[in-house]
Amino acid sequence: MSYQIIQRGESLSFPDPHPFIDTASSMGDGVVLIGGEAGQAWRRGVEAAEGKSFIAIELDTECLGVHTGEDEGPVNVVGFARFRLGDDAPTGLVELVRKPYTDPDAVQAARAAFEAAGLVVAVCNDFPGRILNRLVRPYYNAALRRLDEGLATASDMDQTLCLGLGYPEGPISLLNRTGLHHHYRVTQALYEALGQEAYVPARRAQVAWARRQRDAA
């Protein structure tokens, strides 16, 4: 499966060299738009993408429908993001986003391209937070809130979850290591999209975000 890479802005999914980028060609059956402005770039060049087996647009916290439309749209366009937590490097997981009208062949072609580069693909429909952020953010918020409420120390909470469930790292350690302000940014976006209390950024994340903003000013 050959594909062309078009980069517009800084990519959260591919900030560093990766076999997926290295094996791209200047012309290909597919098109992969990466970077923070990937969606806008696709909207500006819709006609050029016609006839491609797939077009994959890198997503941040937004839904694919923001770029393609909700009830109908191009059948060969998918969204994608490599899951990453804050300052950590992107993981090997690609969340591949489809719309109800997306052609299964386009999903399969995009999947094949990512998997050929050693990435693992999980397919999901177009909902805020996709799979991972939708699931982990309320859990991380709850851990931060319970830490404030004195349920246990941070290390006891982390140790219990690691020992009891086999997690490689507890939530408090993970969030502190990867940047609480990142948790705020993603969670706030989900709260705005979903309006559910569980996504309201926890106090500690709000503090981290405020300090980050102050330091950047």
Query: Which residue, 37 or 142, is less far from other proteins as judged by CB?
Result: 142
Confirm or reject binding of residue 136 to other proteins (CB under 8 A): yes
Q: Which of 87, 151, 211, 213 binds other proteins (CB under 8 A)?
A: 151
> Which amino acid, residue 107?
V
112-131 positions binding other proteins, by CB under 8 A: 120, 122-125, 127, 130-131
Confirm or reject binding of residue 59 to other proteins (CB under 8 A): no
Q: Count other Cβ atoms within 10 Å, centred on residue 175.
A: 25
Find the part of the chain contacting other proteins (CB under 8 A) among 33-41, 54-62, 65-73, 167-175: 167-175
Residue 215: CB minimum distance to other proteins, A: 29
75: helix, coil or strand? coil
Of the candidates 160, 190, 186, which has an alpha carbon nearest to the alpha carbon of residue 173? 160
Distance (Å, whole) CA 217 – CA 211 = 10
Structure tokens at 158: 């982390």
Q: Are 186 and 137 in contact (CB under 8 A)?
A: yes
Distance (Å, whole) CA 124 – CA 131 = 7
Contact positions toward other proteins, by CB under 8 A? 83, 91-93, 95, 120, 122-125, 127, 130-132, 134-136, 138-139, 142-143, 146, 151-152, 156-157, 159-161, 163-169, 197-198
